[in-house]
Amino acid sequence: MSEKKSQSDETRGSVEFRTLATESLSRETFPVGGQDPEATYQVLSEELLLDGNSKQNLATFCQTWESNQVHRLMDLAMDKNLIDKDEYPQTAEIERRCVALLADLWNAPKGSQVGCSTIGSSEAAMLGGMAAKWRWREKRRAAGLSTDRPNMVCGSVQICWIKFARYWDIEMREIEMSPGRLCMDPEEVLEKVDENTIFVVPTLGVTYHGLYEDVQAISEALDDLQARTGLDIPIHVDAASGGFLIPFTRGEHKPWDFQLERVKSINSSGHKFGLAPLGVGWILWREKKDLPEELVFHVSYLGGDMPTFQINFSRPAGQVIAQYYDFVRLGRSGYAEIHNGSHEVAQYFCSILKTLGEFDIIHDGAPEMGIPAVVWTLPEGANPGYNLYDLADRLRMRGWQVPAYPLTGTYKATPVQRILVKLGFTKEMADLLLQHVKEALDYFQKHPAHTPLSAEEGGSYCHL
């Protein structure tokens, strides 16, 4: 009977699949009836084959490889709501442990474990910005001063900061790129700040070119400003990428974290070089006083008293649990092995790319300079019969997503191209990509692009 039932189910599933295969899925109107689950799954899974191969997506900063153990932990947590700490106390404890481990990693004062998980580093950045605005406003009010013109000072930042400034009515004073200055310069910072500056935001791994901004030099410049004028301006470090790289990678790294007293908060992305699955970021404050109490909400309707300071509310717990799994499974030595390996592959790729004689290198993947990425451009005035948008388009034919995009400021008309080297991108894959780059260059030599693609025509989503 069991065998007959199994055969009957299989036959029915095949019939359902044939029916779905000859009809379109509902796209504009909600369907009246349902479909066989396995047949529906098969149709959808085949539709997803039209997506790109994530292993060849060298544009994204996010992880594209996860272990079997992480998949299993995610299954265990699929129905757990992270915010419901009364119902899932052990999950809440795991989140607390992650904050404690990051406080240790980023050299927070002993006993200072003030922070929380977020959906990603963008939400974390906005929480850090909100806290800075509230601290500035309270300080101004106490002094009887106006609070209607807050500003922030930053370099060429990821779009989350542009969103923050717009959503929370902050004037953004961006220091754009200029010849010899791709990163924010301390002297330029001092020219931009004033009594209405809520914070300065240096970036550890600027999205455009991957280089680290000098947090220590900016901090020392602001220390000197305070000594001369009394103006005390805090720093928030956007360590979306670098927060999970600098503590583990070789090379000389200046202090950038809570070792610098002026650093009041740090955001980072667990699902980038933190190696966790998509959907987790982190925000930590130096001390409890740096997170204004009025921003912390207490809810009781899920059971118990639960303080929360996040833009998102209900969210899955699996990513945080997987993050803790990575912390305890890998430890400092494991993260160091993985990330130093990524830097080695990046530098290997760059060394071969240089031999082609076609490009100027902006970042070669050196760990003391920036994240494991390679960024290049065409020499000024060069006319090789193609531009970088053409090259990106040609590589896309082989499945590679290698974005081309313009820089900012003086270089806003200068396109660059970038690959990000992460766990899963091996030397073998680097060799394959290099071979396809060479093939593309050979193609353009024989068939030059008489009408090169524009940024609008050839630009792909470049994760800025």
414-436 pLDDT, tens per residue? 999 999 999 999 999 999 999 99
Does residue 310 share a domain with residue 404? Answer: no
Does residue 241 share a domain with residue 388? Answer: no
Does residue 348 share a domain with residue 296? Answer: no
pTM passes above 0.75? yes
Q: Please tell me the distance from the alpha carbon of residue 359 to that of residue 379, in angstroms, as a whole number.
A: 6
In whole angstroms, how far apart are CA 29 and each of 24, 26, 37, 272, 430?
12, 6, 19, 37, 45
pLDDT score recorded for residue 1: 46
Does residue 302 share a domain with residue 419? Answer: no
pLDDT score recorded for residue 36: 86
In whole angstroms, how far apart are CA 126 and each of 76, 159, 312?
30, 11, 12
Domains in the chain: how many in total? 2
Confirm whether 1 is domain-assigned: no
Task: Indicate the DSSP class of residue 404.
Answer: E
Confirm whether 168 is domain-assigned: yes
Q: Please tell me the distance from the alpha carbon of residue 183 to that of residue 186, in angstroms, as a whole number.
A: 10
Does residue 218 share a domain with residue 131? Answer: yes
Residue at which a domain ends, from 326, 349, 382: 326
Single-letter amino acid, residue 5? K
Task: Indicate the DSSP class of residue 307.
Answer: E
Q: Please tell me the distance from the alpha carbon of residue 198 to that of residue 59, in angstroms, as a whole number.
A: 32
Residue at which a domain ends, from 303, 326, 349: 326
- Number of other residues whose CB lies within 10 A of the CB of residue 254: 14
Q: Please tell me the distance from the alpha carbon of residue 439 to that of residue 41, in angstroms, as a whole number.
A: 38
- Number of other residues whose CB lies within 10 A of the CB of residue 207: 22
Does residue 144 share a domain with residue 247? Answer: yes
Does residue 438 share a domain with residue 355? Answer: yes
> Could you tell me the CATH number of the domain that includes residue 422?
3.90.1150.160
pLDDT score recorded for residue 99: 94
**Which distant-in-sequence residues (6+ apart) come within 8 Å of 387 by Cβ?**
378, 404, 415, 449, 452, 453, 458
Q: Closest Cα partner for 122 from 261, 278, 288, 249? A: 278
pLDDT score recorded for residue 403: 95
pLDDT score recorded for residue 11: 56
- Number of other residues whose CB lies within 10 A of the CB of residue 330: 15
Tell me which residues of the chain have a pLDDT lower than 70: 1-21, 298-308, 458-464
Confirm whether 408 is domain-assigned: yes
> Could you tell me the CATH number of the domain that includes residue 209?
3.40.640.10
Q: Please tell me the distance from the alpha carbon of residue 200 to that of residue 155, in angstroms, as a whole number.
A: 9
Which tokens belong to 397? 């034919």
Q: Please tell me the distance from the alpha carbon of residue 170 to that of residue 163, in angstroms, as a whole number.
A: 10
Q: Please tell me the distance from the alpha carbon of residue 5 to that of residue 268, in angstroms, as a whole number.
A: 52
Q: Which domain holds residue 366?
A: 332-447
Q: Count CA atoms closer than 13 A to 260's CA, side-chain side.
A: 24
Confirm whether 196 is domain-assigned: yes
Does residue 136 share a domain with residue 116? Answer: yes
Q: Please tell me the distance from the alpha carbon of residue 66 to that of residue 1, in angstroms, as a whole number.
A: 41
